Structure 1
């Protein structure tokens, strides 16, 4: 079984970005990311309704790190502390050395290669530091941007599940992508 240690929290850096722990002071940005119609269009999750809910979300992500169950980074442009997005690894299946990746980005920063830059360093962390064997992504089949991002990083479609997710009174489809550690092949 995989032994995952997420403490202390590890900041990550790219050419243009700092990925850091999400703080309580980030609650306004988290509220925006988790309530904006454009961002939430394909996330199929309940929207946050208040900063108190955003603070609860932040507390849950901190708890996941402390319990070695998941890690969520806030994405900031270098030279700024303001969050422009989030990316994380969660749903660890330690017996199978597997985790799920999830991400969101403020629409003002779409199509600039920033999420791709963040994903690369998170995938490296997952495979090299955490010693994961595979990372999966579960996306809404209509989310073409997410599909393209995953494929750019070598993910392949493993499954298409019809009507497997019940949300807001309807059954939705899901597409599962997976990436096996390139060094394990």
Structure 2
């Protein structure tokens, strides 16, 4: 079974991006992400209503890092360290050598290849540094942009779960994509 250890926190870079630790100083950016109906459209979680909600989200991220149960990075451009998105491994399954990747990005940065670049780098991190055997992504079947990112990164559709989650008074479908370390 794998043992994850996120201390010291790994700062990860790509050609254009720095994936860095999110701190309480990023509360306004996290609030902007988590309170935006467009950003949260396919994430079945309540919208942040206050900066206190954003601070609670940051605290949850920190708790997962401290206990080695998950890791999230703030997505920033190399020339501007303002957080414009969040990416990370949300559910770690050390017994299965598997983890779930997830991400969100402010709408004004959509369509620029930022998420694809970040996902490709975290695939490398997941397989080389975390020693994962497989990475999964769980998306809303209507989230065509996310599906396109996963396909560009060589993920394969594994399942379409019908009405598998109940949120906000309705049943939601989920699609699972995965990538094996080969």
Normalised by the length of structure 1, the TM-score is: 0.96
Aligned to 1:32: 32
Distance across 2 between alignment mates of 1:66 and 1:121? 22
Q: How far apart are the structure 2 equivalents of 1:25 and 1:57?
A: 13
The aligned residue for residue 95 of structure 2 is 95
Residue correspondences, number: 182
Residue 117 of structure 1 aligns with which residue? 117
Distance in 1 separating the partners of 2:46 and 2:32: 13
For structure 1, the 5+ residue unaligned runs are none
- Give the corresponding residue for 1:52: 52
Superposition RMSD in Å: 0.8
For residues 26-67 of structure 1, the C-alpha deviation after alignment (integer angstroms, 9 at most, x for no partner) is 111111111111111111211111111111110111111111
Alpha-carbon distance in structure 2 between the residues aligned to 1:38 and 1:57: 18
Equivalence for 2:132? 132
Greater CA deviation, 149-158 or 36-45? 36-45
Aligned residue for 2:38, secondary structure, equals helix
Shift of 1:143: 0.2
Q: Give distance in 2, aligned partners of 1:81 and 1:140.
A: 29
Moved segments of 4+, more than 6 Å: none
User: How big is each residue's C-alpha offset from its partner over 1:58-115, in whole Å with a ceiling of 9 and x where there is no partner?
Assistant: 0111111111100000011112121111100121111100000000011111111111
Unaligned 5+ residue runs, structure 2? Answer: none
